[in-house]
Amino acid sequence: MRRAERIAYRRGSVGFIWQQTSRNLVGYLTAAENIALAQHVAGVVPRAEREARGAELLELLEIGDLADRRPAELSGGQQQRVALAVALANGPRVLLADEPTGELDEVTSAQVLEAMETVGREQGLTTLVVTHDAAVAEHVDRTIRIRDGRTSTEVLRRTHTDAEGGRVRVAEEFAVLDRAGRMQLPAEFIAVLELRDRVRLGLEPDRIEVRPGQPHGARPDAPYEGRRRDDRRAACGGSHARVRDPGRRGARRGRRDARGRSGRARRAAGKVGSR
């Protein structure tokens, strides 16, 4: 994609919200004028429809009565709602939000997140939120957690109606397996089982078992015994796997060398005596 194509894509297909409310809005313009500016730059919405489109967005976000106010006259939550309207001014297909609630209190954050959820549903919008706020998870259908620079877990959520007609939110968590077969265990699992350094693996017909490499309460420097015989057989489909110990092999080689040297010494002594 060439530079001109990237610019056109960003203007017509992507909306963006910064964490800092001051970066989302022009301070000397009103809420309606900020939306009109974004529409003018993007050039996507026809000129005759821009004013009506801006008013519609403000009403959708329940701040229609704030159209003539400047950012300094708005609260933090109101500013982020206006920023959301500005991000949607070009009719994007994707909305990117960088810590959109990072500067808001808990109550205001929930209101902004609910507004984003409503807009996404009404506009058929895909929203990608990057955040450290765990409360955001309750307002999205999919959460991907990154730990130590790697994707660790993925949570999928769905809503269904129970027998009494109430809406129930169900979440299911998955560990992410990369192409190299690496997987990060949840931190709470590691803490409960006291997993560290090495673990024991066992292959069952329908699952892989992960067990501590040493019993609970054992010293951190206790010797590692390796896999048990039944674990080795399971990992090899039931056949016996012989695990060689390089240390034992070296010891046997040393004993053979010692026997060879003593035998040569005896033979040499016999030759001297015969002379």
pLDDT value, residue 87: 92
- For the entire predicted model, the pTM comes to 0.66
Per-residue pLDDT of the chain (275 residues; tens, 9 = 90+): 889 888 888 888 899 998 887 788 999 999 999 999 999 988 888 888 889 989 999 998 889 999 999 999 999 889 999 999 999 988 889 999 998 888 888 888 888 888 888 888 888 889 999 988 888 887 888 888 888 888 888 888 888 787 787 878 788 888 888 888 888 888 888 888 888 888 998 999 999 998 888 765 555 555 544 444 454 444 444 433 444 445 555 555 555 555 665 556 556 555 545 55
Q: Which residues contact 176 (CB under 8 A, 6 or more apart)?
A: 144, 151, 152, 153, 154, 183, 184
Which pLDDT value is given to residue 185? Answer: 86
Q: What is the pLDDT of residue 94?
A: 92
Strands 207-212 and 199-204 turn out to be antiparallel
Can you say whether residue 104 is alpha, beta or left, with left for phi > 0 and alpha for psi between -120 and 50 degrees? beta
pLDDT of residue 239: 38
Residue 118 one-letter amino acid: T
Q: What is the DSSP letter of 44?
A: -
Residue 249 has what pLDDT? 53
Instruction: Indicate the domain borders of the chain.
Output: 3-140, 148-178
User: Could you tell me the two tokens for 121?
Assistant: 């549903």
Fold (topology level) of 3-140:
Rossmann fold (3.40.50)
Position 66 scores a pLDDT of 92
Q: Show the 3-state SS of 101-130.
A: CCCCCHHHHHHHHHHHHHHHHHHCCEEEEE
